[in-house]
Amino acid sequence: MPDSESARTTRRAEWRRLSGLTPYLRAHATRVSIALGFLIAAKGASVLLPIALGRIVDSLDRSEQTAAVVLPLALLLAYGGLRLASVLFGQIRDLVFGRVTERTMHQIALSVFKHLHALDLDFHLSRRTGGLSRDIERGLGGIRFLLRFMLFNILPTVFEIALVAAILFYYYSLWFAAIVLASVVAYVAITATLTEWRTGHVRESNRLDTRANTRAVDSLLNYETVKYFGNEHYEADRYDRALDGWAEAMGRARRSLGLLNTLQALVIAAAVTAMMILAADRVVAGTMTLGDLTMVNAYMLQIFLPLNALGFVYRQLKKAMADTAHIFALLDIEPGVVDSGQAQPLRTERPTVVFDDVAFDYKADRAILRHVNLTIGAGEKVAVVGHSGAGKSTLARLLFRFYDVDAGAIRIDGCDIRELGLASLRAAIGVVPQDTVLFNDSIAYNIAYGAPERATRDDVARAARLAHLEDFIERLPEGYDTVVGERGLKLSGGEKQRIAIARAMLKNPAILIFDEATSSLDTQAEQAITQALSEAAADHTTLVIAHRLSTVADADRIAVMDAGRVVETGTHSELLARNGQYADMWRLQGVD
């Protein structure tokens, strides 16, 4: 019972989320209406085809030789015209609605893309990027399927069945319409029930196939280990058992498909037979003609032909609904960090930054920052040092408003950053992160990303020169056009960090944050970059987070953090003279 209730709850949630398609379709109401008009016209023409065919048969019946030759010719031309109209109207419908499908998918994909960028860092850290991209890809595919099959397969089929039942009732009797409706209901019920049951066997066979394949690949990847222990027969036996399970599941899936096809054929045969017996009896009685018999048979074939694919459509429809619900579920997620109702833009050139009694934790049971008080004066360079896990990088994330503080406040020029517009706040901050990730594009593109809409090639070259990248780039055959690879994997860690530094310099923000910006550099490169960072920080309010104390000895002030608190502050010489934690760290790093 709980599983059934859970399934019903899931279906209700899916239908509720599917309503998210409505605004996108409403934006193209005219095109949707025109497409539906051509859909109705196409179905109308196809429904008239059996009537024309019946009349042609009657006109050619030898018992009706009195008919003029022009009459069957006219009917034949009408039959051809109806068939052409059915196809032509369908093509026009596809052309008209195709634009709606493309624009809807475009707008939904863009909405999801923007929304994902609006979500807080915690969401992205807790999600697998591959899984997220698959959700989006499957969701868009589901939307395409729903728009295509719901509007142009399922709804038209229902419309056609209703028209056929009405025509049979009008021309002949209620019994003909009843046979059509009863057989369609039975066909749909059997297909839906058995497909639901069969899907379990298909999923099981897929799961066992994946497990067998995983075992085979794992065994082959560990070829040497298998050989070292002489376990070839053991591995073959494991693979054999996995294949046995897969084969049994495939057999169940195959038998369930056979049962489904058999029952579907039984329903069709019973319906057609009942309809033919009823029609033939009336032909013998003289109340129906051979043309009427042909017309009834044509209608039965016309109805059941699209229903043959119902099993596939039903499975795909359920999958499409779930996939589409997933993509709209992403849009339902509320970002944790948003602009306040009266957010104001940040306008500053040399700001003062104050961490005022700040407390923060990522999880309730793990405090990261506790009562942090730190001031970075206008144009000052303040360094934060400490052991790993002390909370240094968290200060940078809070200042950039990846997260909001739990207690206290961070102020820029006296204004709580929660009262500032996110866009203007982040535009005023340049960050060189500890782990630099680059786009799979050229070096020039990655540097220009600091200001992509205004950066010129000269600006890029100037930033590269400040980051001491110029010599490295000149040695490359393609220079600035060299592609750095996925996440910058074609470059060393130091080269990536220098590109990140050049990118931040190109942005030229009011506040600079260097988060372990020289951690991947060798000693010579570190000295060069440290000098460049000092030059860049000269006209900026700068927060430097560092592990190597030698890189921050020239800072205006140094704050030492331990267990989420600021335990010491002062200049390099003051902290050495105090002989506290900073002095201990200095001695441990063996700095002269």
The residue assigned the tokens 């009823």 is 278
| Selection from 42, 67, 52, 84 nearest residue 295 by Cα | 52
Angle at 197 between CA 263 and CA 249, to 5 degrees: 105
Task: State residue 537's pLDDT score.
Answer: 67
Closest CA to 519 of 404, 435, 412, 418: 435
DSSP-based three-state secondary structure for 441? coil
Tokens of 32: 């949707």
pLDDT score recorded for residue 278 = 86
Nearest CA-CA partner of 326 in 20, 4, 6: 20
Residue 373 domain-assigned (yes or no): no
Burial class from Cβ neighbours inside 10 Å (0-12, 13-18, 19+) for residue 171 reads middle
What confidence score (pLDDT) does residue 245 get?
A: 85
C-alpha 351/C-alpha 375 separation (Å) is: 11
Alpha carbon distance 507, 453 (integer Å): 11
Cβ within 8 Å of residue 98, ≥6 positions away = none
CA dihedral 566, 570, 573, 576 (to 10 degrees): -30
Residue 347 CA neighbour count, 13 Å, CB half: 2
**Whole-angstrom Cα distance, residue 481 to residue 485?**
12
| Strands annotated E in 477-538 | 511-515
Domain range enclosing 192: 173-287
- In this prediction, residue 410 carries a pLDDT of 92
Judge whether 225 lies within some domain: yes
Report the alpha-carbon distance of residue 591 to residue 548 in Å, rounded: 9
Helices (H), 442-512: 443-448, 457-466, 470-474, 493-507
Task: Please calculate the CA angle 105-112-361 and round it to the nearest 5 degrees.
Answer: 170
Q: How many domains does the chain have?
A: 1
Per-residue pLDDT of the chain (592 residues; tens, 9 = 90+): 445 555 566 566 666 666 777 888 888 888 888 888 888 888 888 888 888 888 888 777 654 455 444 456 777 888 888 889 888 988 888 888 888 888 888 888 888 888 888 887 777 776 655 557 767 887 888 888 888 777 667 777 788 888 888 888 888 888 888 888 888 888 888 888 887 787 777 778 777 887 888 788 888 878 888 888 888 888 888 888 888 888 888 888 888 888 888 888 888 888 888 888 888 888 888 888 888 888 888 888 887 777 776 667 777 777 777 778 778 888 888 887 888 778 888 887 788 999 999 999 887 667 788 889 999 988 888 999 988 878 888 898 899 888 888 899 999 988 999 988 888 888 888 888 877 888 888 988 988 888 888 888 888 888 888 887 888 888 888 888 888 887 777 887 778 888 888 888 888 888 888 887 766 566 666 666 666 667 666 678 889 988 888 888 888 899 999 888 899 999 999 999 898 888 888 888 765 5
pLDDT of residue 411: 92
The token duo for 152 is: 């142009």
Query: What spatial distance separates the first Cα and last Cα of the chain, rounded to whole Å?
Result: 73
| Confidence (pLDDT) at 355 | 92
CB 287 within 8 A of CB 149: no
**CA-CA distances (angstroms) from residue 442 to 156, 394, 448, 500?**
51, 31, 10, 13
Residue whose entry in the numeric block shows the structure tokens 């709804």: 155
Model pLDDT, residue 316: 76
User: Nearest-5° angle of CA 356, CA 361, CA 367?
Assistant: 95
pTM of the model: 0.68
Please name the residue ranges forming H helices in 61-154. 70-118, 121-126, 129-145
| Domain-located, residue 213 | yes
Provide the residue type at 215 as one letter.
R
Whether 148 is in a domain gets the answer no
- Rounded to the nearest 5 degrees, what angle is found at the Cα of 440, between the Cα atoms of 436 and 444? 80
